[in-house]
């Protein structure tokens, strides 16, 4: 972050602290106050995730991953235990400011970990920027969060929407596809993943001939699939996730398009859903920052520990939650658990080298992972890694003054 941004952030944090309490001690957050008093209060962590609705499974995987990172460190980060405060955000953007405030104002958390849905993340951003609370975003890809709305207290352990589809342009070109249709939900997540794909594909000389949208979280795909059949593009590219992705894969097959028009997507289309879709996903190729079969020491150990603990196979969401835990650990280790030293925590987090199951990554100046994008193909129940579609892809962070 630039000195200008850092100065502004520290000034607004100090102003807020002064506003929230008359004395210097009163201005400290609860855990920081306890630290100053030499007591051992827990670090207060707010989990704002979807626990109901089409993204419910994603929220659970993120929390599982986060708790696994904590368990691996004996239940402490920076020598401090954590206390959790949970809000189900229902993937409902209009409720996002109120939900974020429940954690920030009511529960007075030291750090917020959330969320999944880009629209909800946009609703959280204002509350987080105004309060100066540390925010680790373990999924929602809204480009603005580490773009125009970037701030010293905002970190992401996942991706930008742009990052997940930009590399697909090169992939389709290599396959000889010249035209494509993009189909997705009409909200920030879908529109921005379409935008990343369009930019990458058109740079390679391809043409995006049609953008097809339906409202989030609707899953009535039939009319749009009929339209695709009549357009006959060389390829279809898609973003859906969770329950919506499973239904789309099955409907694509039932509409007779599978095997006729090759289907691609950002990896969310096939991550965490293959058990539910029979052979409807077989052969679908996607790009994402995680894949099955990476066969590294770190990934193998993570997968084994996750499966043993939760009796479930991990997916990309579990990895992002795990890395959110690892990033918070780096921050708290860097200040020896003194959560009141926010500037120290930010510095430690900015320079963290995360040893992730996806492969090692670091943060960009805008606090978004710079990471490899894998090409994956569905083989049986796996998103099998086929290679690296783009090495160390950094989001352009458009509008970020960092």
3-state secondary structure of 216: coil
- Which of 117, 376 has the CB closer to ligand BEZ? 117
- Which of 249, 345 has the CB closer to ligand BEZ? 249
Residues 6+ apart with CB under 8 A from 38: none
In the window 153-172, what residues touch ligand BEZ (CB under 6 A)? 161
Residues 6+ apart with CB under 8 A from 312: 61, 64, 306
φ/ψ of 237, rounded to 5, equals -120, 140
| CA-derived radius of gyration, the chain | 21
Give the whole-angstrom CA distance, residue 104 versus residue 106.
6
Look up residue 274 and give its two tokens: 């293959």
- Which of 201, 239 has the CB closer to ligand BEZ? 239
Whole-Å CA distances, 316 to 2, 8, 196, 201, 344: 31, 35, 20, 24, 29
Would you tell me how many other CB atoms lie within 10 Å of the CB of residue 308? Answer: 9
Give the whole-angstrom CA distance, residue 344 versus residue 217.
40
Minimum Å gap between C-beta 351 and ligand BEZ is 26
Minimum Å gap between C-beta 177 and ligand BEZ is 24
Binding mask 130-149 for ligand BEZ (x = CB under 6 A): ---------xxx--------
Single out the segment in contact with ligand BEZ by CB under 6 A; choices: 113-121, 145-153, 296-304, 364-372: 113-121
In the window 31-90, what residues touch ligand BEZ (CB under 6 A)? 55
* Nearest residue to the partner ligand BEZ, using Cβ: 189
Look up residue 68 and give its two tokens: 């696994």
Give the whole-angstrom CA distance, residue 129 versus residue 149.
8
Binder of ligand BEZ out of 96, 127, 241, 397 (CB under 6 A): 241
Binding of ligand BEZ by 117 (CB under 6 A): yes
Binding of ligand BEZ by 246 (CB under 6 A): no
Minimum Å gap between C-beta 393 and ligand BEZ is 16
- Which of 147, 189 has the CB closer to ligand BEZ? 189
Give the whole-angstrom CA distance, residue 324 versus residue 345.
14
Minimum Å gap between C-beta 259 and ligand BEZ is 26
Binder of ligand BEZ out of 35, 54, 57, 118 (CB under 6 A): 118
**Torsion region of 364: left, alpha or beta (phi above 0 gives left; psi -120 to 50 gives alpha):** beta
Classify residue 351 as exposed, middle or buried by CB count within 10 Å of its CB (0-12, 13-18, 19+).
exposed
Minimum Å gap between C-beta 58 and ligand BEZ is 6
Minimum Å gap between C-beta 83 and ligand BEZ is 27
Minimum Å gap between C-beta 196 and ligand BEZ is 12
Minimum Å gap between C-beta 54 and ligand BEZ is 9
Single out the segment in contact with ligand BEZ by CB under 6 A; choices: 116-124, 176-184, 305-313, 375-383: 116-124
In the window 291-350, what residues touch ligand BEZ (CB under 6 A)? none
Binding of ligand BEZ by 268 (CB under 6 A): yes
φ/ψ of 157, rounded to 5, equals -110, 15
Minimum Å gap between C-beta 230 and ligand BEZ is 29
Q: Name residue, tokens 């708790």.
A: 67
- Which of 252, 268 has the CB closer to ligand BEZ? 268
- Which of 89, 110 has the CB closer to ligand BEZ? 89
Long-range pairs of 30-39 with CB within 8 A, sequence gap ≥ 24: 30/108, 30/110, 31/80, 31/110, 31/339, 31/340, 32/110, 32/338, 32/339, 32/340, 33/340, 35/337, 35/338, 35/339, 35/340, 36/340
Return residues touching ligand BEZ (CB under 6 A): 55, 116-118, 139-141, 161, 189, 241, 268
């Amino acid at each position: 972050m630039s000195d200008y941004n850092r100065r502004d952030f520290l000034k607004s944090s100090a102003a807020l602290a002064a506003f929230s309490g008359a004395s210097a001690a009163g201005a400290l957050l609860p855990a920081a106050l306890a630290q100053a008093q030499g007591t051992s209060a827990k670090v207060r962590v707010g989990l704002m995730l979807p626990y109901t609705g089409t993204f419910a499974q994603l929220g659970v995987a993120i929390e599982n991953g986060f708790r696994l990172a904590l368990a691996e460190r004996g239940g402490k980060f920076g020598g401090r235990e954590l206390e959790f405060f949970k809000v189900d955000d229902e993937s409902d953007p209009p409720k996002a400011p109120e939900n974020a405030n429940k954690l920030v104002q009511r529960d007075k958390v030291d750090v917020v970990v959330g969320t999944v849905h880009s629209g909800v993340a946009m609703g959280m951003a204002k509350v987080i920027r105004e309060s100066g609370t540390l925010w680790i975003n373990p999924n929602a890809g809204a480009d603005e969060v580490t773009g125009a709305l970037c701030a010293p207290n905002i970190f992401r352990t996942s991706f930008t929407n742009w990052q997940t589809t930009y590399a697909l342009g090169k992939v389709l070109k290599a396959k000889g596809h010249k035209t494509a249709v993009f189909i997705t939900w009409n909200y920030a997540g879908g529109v921005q993943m379409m935008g990343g794909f369009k930019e990458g594909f058109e740079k390679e000389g391809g043409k995006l001939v049609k953008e097809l949208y339906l409202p989030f979280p609707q899953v009535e795909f039939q009319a749009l699939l009929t339209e695709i059949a009549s357009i006959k593009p060389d390829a279809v590219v898609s973003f859906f996730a969770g329950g919506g992705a499973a239904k789309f894969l099955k409907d694509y097959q039932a509409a007779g398009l599978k095997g006729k028009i090759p289907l691609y997507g950002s990896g969310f289309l096939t991550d965490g859903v293959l058990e539910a879709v029979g052979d409807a996903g077989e052969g679908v190729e996607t790009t994402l920052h995680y894949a099955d079969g990476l066969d590294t020491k770190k990934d193998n150990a993570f997968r084994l520990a996750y499966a043993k603990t939760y009796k479930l196979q991990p997916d990309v969401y579990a990895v992002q939650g795990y890395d959110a835990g690892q990033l918070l650990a780096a921050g708290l280790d860097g200040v020896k658990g003194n959560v009141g030293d926010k500037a120290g925590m930010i510095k430690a987090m900015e320079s963290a080298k995360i040893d992730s199951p996806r492969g090692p990554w670091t943060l960009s100046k805008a606090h978004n992972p710079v990471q490899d994008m894998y090409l994956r193909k569905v083989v049986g129940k796996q998103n099998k890694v086929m290679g690296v579609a783009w090495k160390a892809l950094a989001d352009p962070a458009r509008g970020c003054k960092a």
